[in-house]
């Protein structure tokens, strides 16, 4: 059975800190790794990573995939209170359905 494990489960940091969120995966016929941010409403898409070693960046967020070690990290620099959310990692296989296997998420709280 496909599995995605995220760590830490929760994290509290001060505004301005840098955080690294971890995601390891075991996904049969792996295609891509996706990151989502979940606040109170819909999970919103952050990154999709398909190739190893290529960093993707969006503002203060960046992510990279290691297909040899089967993990990905999500970095957030200069955190702000608006970054407080649950960050979800999901593995996508190459099957006929775009079926994502999600981890349980990392709950990030950024305090003043």
Only one of the segments 22-30, 53-61, 67-75, 85-93 lies at the binding site for another protein (rule: CB under 8 A); that segment is: 85-93
Nearest-angstrom CA–CA distance, 24 and 18:
20
Per-residue binding string, another protein, 86-105, x by CB under 8 A, is --x-x-x--xxxxxxxxxxx
- The CA-atom distances, in angstroms, between 74 and each of 1, 23, 29, 97 are 24, 8, 22, 25
Taking the complex as a whole, how short is the minimal distance between the CB of residue 14 and another protein, in angstroms? 26
Interface positions, 23-82, toward another protein (CB under 8 A): 31-32, 34, 36, 41-45, 48
Taking the complex as a whole, how short is the minimal distance between the CB of residue 48 and another protein, in angstroms? 6
Cα dihedral sign for 5, 22, 61, 38?
Answer: positive
The site for another protein (CB under 8 A) is made up of 4, 31-32, 34, 36, 41-45, 48, 88, 90, 92, 95-105
């Amino acid at each position: 059975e496909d599995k995605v494990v995220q760590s830490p489960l929760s994290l509290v940091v001060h505004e301005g800190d840098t955080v690294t969120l971890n995601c390891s995966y075991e996904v049969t016929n792996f295609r891509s790794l996706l990151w989502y941010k979940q606040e109170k409403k819909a999970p919103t898409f952050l990154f999709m990573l398909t190739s190893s070693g290529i960093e993707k960046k969006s503002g203060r967020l960046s992510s990279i995939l290691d297909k040899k070690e089967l993990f990905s990290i999500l970095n957030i620099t200069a955190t702000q209170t608006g970054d407080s959310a649950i960050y979800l990692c999901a593995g996508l296989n190459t099957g006929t359905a775009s079926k994502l296997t999600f981890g349980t998420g990392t709950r990030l709280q950024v305090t003043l």
